[in-house]
Amino acid sequence: MTLSKAADIRFKVAPGGPLAGRLRVPGDKSISHRSIMLGSLAEGHTVVTGFLEGEDSLATLSAFRAMGVQISGPDAGKVQIEGVGLQGLQAPAAALNLGNSGTSMRLMSGLLAGQAFSTMLTGDASLSSRPMKRVVGPLTMMGARIDASDGGTAPLRIHGNATLAGIDYDMPVASAQVKSSLLLAGLYARGQTCVSEPAPTRDHTERMLTGMGYPVQRSGNRVCIEGGHTLHGIAIDVPADISSAAFFLVGASIAPGSDLLLAHVGMNPTRTGIIDILQQMGADISVLNERDVGGEPVADLRVQSAPLHGIDIPPRLVPLAIDEFPVIFVAAACAQGRTVLTGAEELRVKESDRIQVMADGLQTLGIDAQPTPDGMVIEGGTLGSGCVGSHGDHRIAMAFSMAALRAQGEVEISDCANVNTSFPGFVEQACQAGLTIKATRV
């Protein structure tokens, strides 16, 4: 069924069963967002295939339409953008509502800081509770004028006609969204904008800028751009999202008898922490048919069931798997022994407090899961049955859906409408792979 936010959606998932066959999960959300943003700012025509038709990406698309960009589609994942150039955006007639999408709000804050017009960015209740000071602070250092709530959250009012100047910014916490926001502001800034990160984060923005002919300088953990150059429209083939594939990587690993092929998955080295972590836990994942598509590495992933064991998750892998930890926690619950995560305080300010919400749900299902300020300690055990809350967080809902594969009885998950933000068609694809899952309106 097509999920809608008009009503609460509950998932009911029956226990057991292997996952098998071949799936191509929807397109990468991070790349889909950036294709709209940079395609709109480019000179000429950009054609996007494999675009993620989820609510988050569509919010970005709608925002740029509201700023005068001609965009056709999406039609079966194809989007065509008539770029207006760096100076061609127009003032929207109303506030830009970005729904649940933190990526849209943080990246667009940088992009809009250099425009001649003012804009208001709003979002749903979840987005309006997420911290924005991490981008507002350094953007203000560049000369941007942005008003936020007293708590540093949305709505954000971005004042036009600000004069931006490049800065050299050392990020205190690794964040691709902060890095990308500053680089997008740097397109409009005098001089050079440089960002240094304490650990590698996804580099889709840098890759796409380079692909569109905009000079980017990279050295170690530092990336720099200068204002005043031009973006050129290109063809962009969006690979399948490894964050969406992650649910099936874990599901097939923990469900006995599974043998599943995930096709055309993006293998950007800043995103493959999920594979490294699962393999360290004993997962049987083969990387096949490696290739390069439009500057992004892509491969097919074959995953077969295997006994997992607990590990201390290496700190260097944390930023490379930050979005996948809800389902990694499920893998840890099904593993033999203890799994320890540290250095992941970022999880507490996602669509939900993913540390606390996952710990609560796992405890409901009978697992010893102890939250810590920056992670969790999980003792592998036997999953029972019960009803858990996703708190409107799409990744929580899908993670607990996979947990049912090893549960003793039915797992019911509440508040699942937001699955459509990142994975439209999740229920159908999960059923196709072998999960017995039903979505019902409440």
CA distance 387 to 368: 17
Cα-atom radius of gyration of the chain, to the nearest Å?
21
322 and 349 in contact (C-beta within 8 Å)? no
Q: What is the dihedral of CA 122, 58, 351, 409, to 10 degrees?
A: 150
Nearest alpha-carbon partner for 101 in 139, 143, 63: 63
| Helix (H/G/I), strand (E/B), else coil: 227 | coil
Nearest alpha-carbon partner for 391 in 103, 134, 100: 100
Q: Is 323 tagged catalytic?
A: yes
Q: What is the DSSP string of 156-199?
A: EEE-SS---B--EEE-SS--HHHHHHHHHHHTTSBSEEEEE-SS
DSSP β-ladder status, 338-341 and 259-266: unpaired
CA distance 362 to 68: 47
Only one residue has tokens 């507490």, namely 348
Tokens for 96, please give them: 């830009």
Return the number of other C-beta atoms located less than 10 Å from residue 22's C-beta.
Answer: 12
Catalytic residue among 323, 368, 374, 415: 323
What letter represents residue 240's amino acid?
A
CA distance 104 to 55: 11
Tokens for 342, please give them: 């540290």
Q: Give φ, ψ of 192 to 5 degrees.
A: -105, 135
101 and 127 in contact (C-beta within 8 Å)? yes
Angle between helical axes of 133-141 and 176-186 (0-180°, round to 10): 30
Nearest alpha-carbon partner for 310 in 345, 280, 273: 280
Respond yes or no on whether the N-terminal peptide bond of residue 74 is cis (omega within 30° of 0).
yes
The helix, strand and coil proportions of the chain, stated in percent and rounded to the nearest 5, come to 35, 30, 40
CA distance 368 to 339: 11
**Catalytic residue ranges:** 323
